[in-house]
Amino acid sequence: MEEKIINKGKNGMAMLLLIIIMFAGGIALIVLGAMYAPALIALGCISMVLSFFLMPGLRILKPQEALVLTLFGKYVGTLKGDGFFFVNPFCTAVNPAASTKLNQSGDVKETSAIAAAASAYSLPSKKMSLKIMTLNNNKQKINDCLGNPVEIGIAVTWKVVDTAKAAFNVDNYKEYLSLQCDSALRNIVRIYPYDVAPNIDTTGDGVADEGSLRGSSETVAARIKEEIQSKVAEAGIEIVEARITYLAYAPEIAAVMLQRQQASAIIDARKMIVDGAVGMVEMALERLSENNTVELDEERKAAMVSNLLVVLCGNHDAQPVVNSGSLY
């Protein structure tokens, strides 16, 4: 289904004036017919009926709105752009997602009781919005490539670029987009570990890399966007951007994974402390040997190294012990 833009239709004001003239003329003919010629009454009634018949052909569009029109079931074209239009009164506007409400900007449910009551008794607009909107689907629990359950949420910025495809190629383009977002999210998250893990290939080139959900969020978001776009192009939708809005381990393993991260951080810190302490001990021994400050045999060097490492690597302040004797 290819989109056809109706360019010749922006003459609503002229048709409105004609309808007003026909209605007023019909009233005048009925009055004159009642006074002078009864035949004019029928002519006046016909003029008034025609004015009422032409009235549904008047359509008003705001900026970034479109109206998909069909005539007796056949797609005739799409009105785009702001203005006052007149179309065939038999044309029917089509928007299968007019009453669908998703958790997204520009299409959220009213919160006030008065607005909710008013919308309950009003028909949904058949106009199709061409504005950029953001779909914020609910958080999902998905297993990463290591089998760990994680909770993740995304925000997808999208817009309709082909009204004909959106109206006719899918049953409901908003619900279709929401389902494809969930599906694409699951497909991509299963490729990555939550955190960097060894021997994991996330790019598909057969070489292990350091990709992860937490550390490669930009790459993951770009792949999610491409995955969604490949699915919704047939529905006339363009994905502008996809962003990860929430990422965490599932509650059932969150405490265990936190302990694991803490243990890993402690080990890394200890390694850094030991490396620094060994370097300081080596520097101290080299300085003592270069300046001939004191001559130490191997046993005294071992005792000195042990004492320095205890002092430098300990969690508490050292308590000095004065030795008044000798090591021998």
Residue 116 has pLDDT above 60, yes or no: no
Q: From the CB of residue 319, how many other CB atoms can be counted at a distance below 10 Å?
A: 7
Quick one: pLDDT band at residue 34, thresholds 50, 70, 90?
Answer: confident
- Residues 44, 22 contacting (CB under 8 angstroms): no
How confident is the model at residue 241, as a pLDDT?
93
Report pLDDT for 289. Answer: 74
225-274 tens-digit pLDDT: 999 999 999 999 999 999 999 988 888 876 766 776 777 777 777 788 78
- Tell me what the mean pLDDT of segment 134-158 comes to: 88
What the chain holds in terms of domains, given with CATH numbers, is 12-93 (no CATH), 130-249 (3.30.479.30), 263-313 (no CATH)
pTM of the full predicted structure? 0.72
* Structure tokens given for 254: 């969150």
pLDDT of residue 254: 65
Residue type, 154: I
Please give the average per-residue pLDDT across 158-187, as a whole number: 92
Q: Determine the 3-state secondary structure of 94 from DSSP.
A: coil
Mean pLDDT of 173-187: 92
pLDDT at 317: 65
Q: What's the pLDDT at 302?
A: 76
Mean pLDDT of the region 157-161: 94
Tell me the pLDDT tens digit for each residue of 51-105.
888 888 888 888 999 999 999 989 999 998 888 888 889 999 999 988 888 766 5
Encode pLDDT of 284-316 as tens digits.
777 777 767 667 667 777 777 777 777 767 666
Strand partners, 237: 160
Percent of the chain with pLDDT over 90: 27
| pLDDT for residue 215 is more than 70 | yes
On whether the CB atoms of residues 135 and 100 are closer than 8 A, the answer is no
**Residue 277 to residue 267: CA distance in whole angstroms:** 15
In the DSSP assignment, the letter for residue 5 is B
* Residue 241 host element (H or E): strand 237-249
- pLDDT score at 268: 76
> 279-287 — which CB contacts under 8 Å span 24+ positions?
280/308, 280/312, 281/305, 281/308, 281/309, 281/312, 284/308
Residue pair 58/86 in contact by the 8 Å Cβ criterion: yes
Q: What pLDDT does residue 238 have? A: 95
Taking 60 as the threshold, does the pLDDT of residue 325 lie above it? no
* Residues forming a β-bridge with 58: 86
Residue (of 121, 130, 56) closest to 88 by Cα position: 56
Nearest CA-CA partner of 126 in 82, 178, 70, 176: 70
CB 208 within 8 A of CB 200: yes
Q: How far apart are CA 246 and CA 248, in angstroms?
A: 7
* Residue corresponding to tokens 């004001």: 13
Element (H, E) at 127: none
- Of the two residues 134 and 1, the one the predictor is more confident about is 134
245 — phi, psi (to 5°)?
Answer: -100, -20
Which of 26-40, 93-107, 114-128, 300-314 is least confident? 114-128
- Can you tell me which residue has the tokens 């890394």? 268
How many angstroms separate the CA atoms of 275 and 309, rounded?
11
The structure tokens listed for 43 are: 């002519």
Q: Given the structure tokens 């080990």, which residue do they identify?
A: 267
Residue 21 has pLDDT above 60, yes or no: yes
Confidence grade of residue 323 (pLDDT, cut at 50, 70, 90): low
Listed in sequence order, the residues at least 6 apart from 298 whose beta carbon sits closer than 8 Å to its beta carbon are none
